[in-house]
Structure 1
């Protein structure tokens, strides 16, 4: 080997060592920098004959595509569970520890104890006042829990909006990084720094939403949702969050935009295509996925469970149970019981089928049932049909025919009552109409007058009439206004009596039904002029004037009996809760609106005075309400936890409170456990990445010492060769 070759090799070694020292210096200085990937110098040995030397090659950056993909998939799962865990931990704090002060089950227990004490001492003012106080505490607890749930739902939308801004900013930065990486003229050090920045941005985006990441040979990346919607491919898509305003319990997600009451998450691609990511289910994990699920499912499930409890609480006090008449294998529900039903009230028919299996049919009263009535099984296992139970008996029968109840047959009696009979060996065992208490002294039943001056009085109004109740008819004869008043009495009139000017008064026995009233009016002497009465197919009493006269007004006023039921809990505006299904249903959001009846607050004697004749020491109403707590059963209208098989609360009010506490406690603990598991999994992957990508200071220092020795050796070779060359040159002088 010649001296020139030796010095060339030494200088080449010095240059390679210098480059390696620069790489090690960068590694050590960035040892604590998040997202930094360790770099190593690729040293190339070059051999030519009996001569070989080294030169500095490419600086390699530690990167494992498979490991990186594992990390990219785990990051959104961990962010998803962490976000859910944070919110649900707050929900657990709001619900309180079961049996703890202020918890839902504790508040209900206090109310039950106060009611038990009232049943023992109904004339005790302090006992009545305690019931009012505990009832107010229960309503206040439901209000606060509902407010907390909706506050968290509103917070999810706020965080979704801020997350969208962060995503758009990171996408813009990643686009810029891609553009530089696509330029092959960029030096290696700059490229490696950009690759570190690329991976940090991809990690940040993965934390927000689940992504599919494709790494290109030039180091650039393409991003898409798991469903395939492009997020970044040369140009980034734009995410937009269109807020819907302040969320309330009735603000729910619906695939129909006109029905949806929550904000929309829109992805607008570079070519202008708009994709609703929530509607398409494109985001399943990450912080955004958790926020969407919390807003639309988890927290709304909690709201609906609170609403179910609030509804059951109101109905425990307000429900009046009216038993039907059972004879043989059939039964009858009187017209008066049907007429007392308000929207949302129901009729429960218990029967045994041909095989002797006990079954239930529940008829829910709705104002306008569908042509094909909704027909489903509730959470108590009862077949439920939505019908017009309180309206015309003919309409009710049509609804039941359309529903196709095979074990029972339905009909009507002369007084407009509903008859029920077992079919094919089935037998009716019990029928109960469950109506909402009405504490008004009288009830007016207005009638619609058709164009041909025909009016009618419902069979229910006739059947529920008490002595002294009356029907008022106003009509005109030759332009002169006249009035006829039919007063309910067990001793019908034989002749009309004169009341106020231009008014006739006739006593009729309304309990005889429409046909009986028609016969009584037809037997009057002298007969009624200008008016004709009849009984229609539904048992209603019809009235018409002879042409060219006109009927102008027709109404029935009856005395109201609320029995032992009491509207202790009402809507915020004072209206009774009837569980109406109209619109989105009265139940939705009721936990946030429920309040104690101001009339009871003003006069707590209403807790025991169930009628005008009830004494202050009468315990009938209190005992009835205590019994309602243990006997009246309710069910959820909706299913919670659908992803895990679904759960619907059912049973008594106490059962439902216990079920909600247990369900939410279990769901929250499951979410917290999932968060802990995902954190552990991510830590394991991160540790593996740290081992592969991270900088080991000890290793780098050891390598530094090796390079120092190699540098010194190369420098010594160069120095010795220089000395030899100097000596050689001097020998020629």
Structure 2
């Protein structure tokens, strides 16, 4: 009996000592990030041998941990989106201020109004050109800021992908160590530490991308994206890479065609050698990497498009004349007559048709033979339209034949009464309900006295200071126009062109400056739905001045919404962290209470051991 008591008390002391060690470790790591509280579960030994130390367990709430990782990914996503939205909004300036985009537009229109009131004033003409130049510089500065943000995101994506790749490698290595960490209490404690390290790295990985885990019976885990791409399988890790570009311009966009892609992409190479474009497969849906991709390829590309559309609207509002078709009928069915005299490459002709599915636009883009065979509808006013090109290099007499060939069967196109380029378009199938075009009047930057009020006030410096017509010759002239639009040097050298629209125009004639003012503030133009202003599937119609204001309003609203979403997501993350800490974190008071209990148990076992020793000593003296 004495020997049993000694054995039981000794085992009790060993277990209590081990438990004190675990509690002490919990207390010492109360503030350690990623540390999960441990407990030691004693086991009863056979016979009357007392207890053994058993296993070291982590008090882990798997559901709370899963939610924590989900909210971590979401918080990283919204944080980056809110940060970039705030920076983007700041580029446009405080609405209404002189330094803001709308302030620059308003200053220019006011100077035109002042010039119209006193056309003979040379200072007024100089002031108008100065404000026009300040406006183009402001648009270019904002557009460059947009591209700088895209370049910063490109660099951040490279850094984030590299960090995520390192974490994947470390998780795979920890899997191997965990599988081998079995046996004694010491190795069990080491295993718990390894599990903590692995869990912490997976949570860190969640900051970069949305991940989920699957546990194996041997203690290892597989890590996958929420879309199902395997990133870690036991001891093997997928390698991530990002082919970053040093500089991004307006035309540098993502494409699934490697030859056309102008930005970096995230590539996953599996241990078997399979390569996966994670952007093309939309495999990353949350975290900072997903946010960076969305901002770089969607949000900021749309911001560039808004500025390009504004620049194009600014140029063409003062240089184009609007043409509207007149209802016509004939043997081929109902249709329109429209005068396209003076049509230049890029001066799109829009036909409105009524189909069984509803109204739709057909856009005819004139070219001189150097435009792409297929033009992306997103580069036109209506991204949902059917787009076709027709060659105008043969002159106005060929317009009817070329348009007929572009439209194909179901339409009859012929010359009509009116100008040299007037055509009649009849439809024998779908109902043709209307037609319109915006035709650029000046044929060159030097054509400042064409007889009309239109003026090539703004030119495209990237294409030899040419008049912007919306041309696709050699590629879209719209893309990047915000950075290239400048005041026509010909007019800067001869400011009288702001007033004189033909030889012999009186110096006090306010016709042209008044027309320029009205073209920017009153006349409505169609701005593409691809700019995100006014709706996703419908073009936006407004004056150039109103469009500039709409851009600022949209960016301000987007920044406010992004901030609100981020604040809500940060609350969700904080809640998830609190829940996880409540279940798996160390509570000092609770651990100290356990420590007191263990001290009492240790003292009790020690007293038993002392009593047994004294009894044994007495027996030995007999």
TM-score tier (shorter)? 0.7 to 0.9
Shift of 1:159: 1.0
Q: Is the Cα contact below 8 Å between 1:609 and 1:616 reproduced in 2?
A: yes
Task: Decide which of 98, 109, 112 is 2:109's aligned counterpart.
Answer: 112
Q: Is the Cα contact below 8 Å between 1:223 and 1:230 reproduced in 2?
A: yes
Q: Aligned partners of 2:306, 2:374: CA distance in 1, in Å?
A: 28
Total equivalences in the alignment: 605
Aligned to 2:207: 207
Q: Is the Cα contact below 8 Å between 2:328 and 2:424 reproduced in 1?
A: no
The residue correspondences of 1:640-655 to structure 2 (distance < 5 A) are 640=531, 648-655=539-546
The residue correspondences of 1:253-652 to structure 2 (distance < 5 A) are 253-321=254-322, 338=341, 340-346=342-348, 363-368=364-369, 378-379=381-382, 386-388=389-391, 391-392=394-395, 393-394=397-398, 396-400=400-404, 402-403=406-407, 410-412=414-416, 416-420=420-424, 434-438=439-443, 561=450, 563-572=452-461, 573-637=464-528, 639-640=530-531, 648-652=539-543
Q: Aligned partners of 1:107, 1:720: CA distance in 2, in Å?
A: 95
Match of 1:711, SS state, is helix
- Which has the higher mean CA deviation after the structures are superposed, 289-298 or 239-248? 239-248
**TM-score, normalised to structure 2's length?**
0.87
Q: Is the Cα contact below 8 Å between 2:325 and 2:434 reproduced in 1?
A: no
Aligned to 1:537: none
The superposition leaves residues 89-128 of structure 1 with CA deviations (integer Å, 9 ceiling, x where unpaired) of 1111112232234221121111111111111111112221
Q: Aligned partners of 1:270, 1:715: CA distance in 2, in Å?
A: 57
Shift of 1:581: 2.5
Aligned to 1:19: 18
Identify unmatched segments of 5+ residues in structure 2.
Answer: none
Q: Aligned partners of 1:281, 1:380: CA distance in 2, in Å?
A: 22
Task: Decide which of 84, 96, 113 is 1:99's aligned counterpart.
Answer: 96
Shift of 1:180: 1.0
Shift of 1:716: 1.7
Shift of 1:381: 10
Distance 1:618 1:325, change over 3 A: farther
Identify unmatched segments of 5+ residues in structure 1.
Answer: 443-558
Aligned to 1:216: 216
Shift of 1:63: 1.7
Distance 1:359 1:190, change over 3 A: closer
Q: Is the Cα contact below 8 Å between 1:121 and 1:127 reproduced in 2?
A: yes
* RMSD of equivalent CA atoms: 3.5
The superposition leaves residues 543-564 of structure 1 with CA deviations (integer Å, 9 ceiling, x where unpaired) of xxxxxxxxxxxxxxxx982521
Q: Aligned partners of 2:419, 2:502: CA distance in 1, in Å?
A: 27
Q: Is the Cα contact below 8 Å between 1:379 and 1:650 reproduced in 2?
A: no
The superposition leaves residues 48-95 of structure 1 with CA deviations (integer Å, 9 ceiling, x where unpaired) of 4xx683332211112222322222333222211111111111111112
**TM-score, normalised to structure 1's length?**
0.75
1:142 aligns with 2:139: yes
The superposition leaves residues 332-380 of structure 1 with CA deviations (integer Å, 9 ceiling, x where unpaired) of 666xx62x322112457899x99xx999986542234888999899459
Q: Aligned partners of 1:266, 1:380: CA distance in 2, in Å?
A: 30
Q: Aligned partners of 2:144, 2:414: CA distance in 1, in Å?
A: 45
Match of 2:207, SS state, is helix
Shift of 1:276: 1.4
Distance 1:413 1:92, change over 3 A: closer
Distance 1:228 1:327, change over 3 A: closer
Shift of 1:229: 2.7
Shift of 1:228: 2.9
Aligned to 2:43: 44
Shift of 1:712: 1.3
- Which has the higher mean CA deviation after the structures are superposed, 318-327 or 23-32? 318-327
Q: Aligned partners of 2:407, 2:297: CA distance in 1, in Å?
A: 32
Q: Is the Cα contact below 8 Å between 2:182 and 2:188 reproduced in 1?
A: no
Match of 1:223, SS state, is strand
Distance 1:640 1:60, change over 3 A: farther
Q: Aligned partners of 1:358, 1:7: CA distance in 2, in Å?
A: 95
Q: Aligned partners of 2:71, 2:120: CA distance in 1, in Å?
A: 66
Q: Is the Cα contact below 8 Å between 2:321 and 2:454 reproduced in 1?
A: yes
Aligned to 2:587: 696
Aligned to 1:58: 55
Q: Aligned partners of 1:227, 1:36: CA distance in 2, in Å?
A: 29
Q: Aligned partners of 1:692, 1:142: CA distance in 2, in Å?
A: 54
Distance 1:698 1:259, change over 3 A: same
Aligned to 1:35: 34
Task: Decide which of 142, 145, 149 is 1:152's aligned counterpart.
Answer: 149
Higher share in helix:
2
Task: Decide which of 562, 565, 568 is 1:677's aligned counterpart.
Answer: 568
Shift of 1:589: 0.7
The superposition leaves residues 673-712 of structure 1 with CA deviations (integer Å, 9 ceiling, x where unpaired) of 2222221112111111101111111111111111111111
Q: Aligned partners of 2:130, 2:34: CA distance in 1, in Å?
A: 59
- Which has the higher mean CA deviation after the structures are superposed, 280-289 or 657-666? 657-666
- Which has the higher mean CA deviation after the structures are superposed, 243-252 or 689-698? 243-252
Distance 1:591 1:402, change over 3 A: closer
Q: Is the Cα contact below 8 Å between 2:225 and 2:284 reproduced in 1?
A: yes
Task: Decide which of 158, 165, 179 is 2:176's aligned counterpart.
Answer: 179
Whichever of the two has the greater Rg, that structure is: 1
Distance 1:641 1:56, change over 3 A: farther
Q: Is the Cα contact below 8 Å between 1:580 and 1:586 reproduced in 2?
A: yes
Q: Aligned partners of 1:647, 1:6: CA distance in 2, in Å?
A: 88
